[in-house]
Structure formats: structure tokens, C-alpha cells
Amino acid sequence: MARDGEEFLEKVLQTETLDSRAANAQLCCETLKLTFPAVLDREDNAVNEAYSGWPDRFVIVGLDGRVAYYGPPGPGGFKPGEVEEWLAENTKQ
């Protein structure tokens, strides 16, 4: 985010509506310059409950709805190269 010409990160709080979640997701995608799609959990947090990426970690869910890759907890356990390698080996290009 930028304010008065200065770049800064702002804490994104938990939201209660899908519209506010979508606005937060858009802001995060733009700020982080993400090049991959982002998805939203509904207000009931069912995806979070089912796949719980807590504490922060990389989780890849297959088209069958099953966890295909479950990385170690972050941020110290984040291994983007490992995720990229897994995706290259397990998805059609």
C-alpha cells in the first residue's frame, strides 16, 4: 500500500462478509503483485476448517479436493522452491 508516497504494509483484519474478504484479497494480490489466482473462503471458514494451514504454511489442494502437498510451518519452513518444483512435476504446463 502507498500513503503520501511511502510504501507500507497494513494488517488485514478478519472480515465477516464475502464482499469485504474479496476487497481484502484484491488489495493483498495487488500489493504483493501475485501472479497466481487467489481464492476466498466463505464466511463459515469451511475451507480453513477442512485444510487448516495454521500455522502459516504452503498447502496445495488437488482437483479431487484432497491435500496434495502440505508444507512445513512457516515462515521458517516456507520452501517456495520446493513448492514450485512440486507444481512443475505434478501439473500440466
Q: What is the pLDDT of residues 24-75, one digit of tens each?
A: 999 888 888 888 888 889 888 898 888 776 677 888 888 898 999 988 887 7
pTM for the whole thing? 0.54
Neighbours of 65 (CB within 10 A): 9
Please, what is the Cα angle at 71 between 68 and 75, to 5 degrees?
A: 150
| pLDDT at 91 exceeding the cut of 70 | yes
Model confidence band, residue 20 (pLDDT cutoffs 50, 70, 90): very high
Which tens digits make up the pLDDT trace of 56-69?
788 888 889 899 99
Sign of torsion over alpha carbons 11, 22, 81, 62: positive
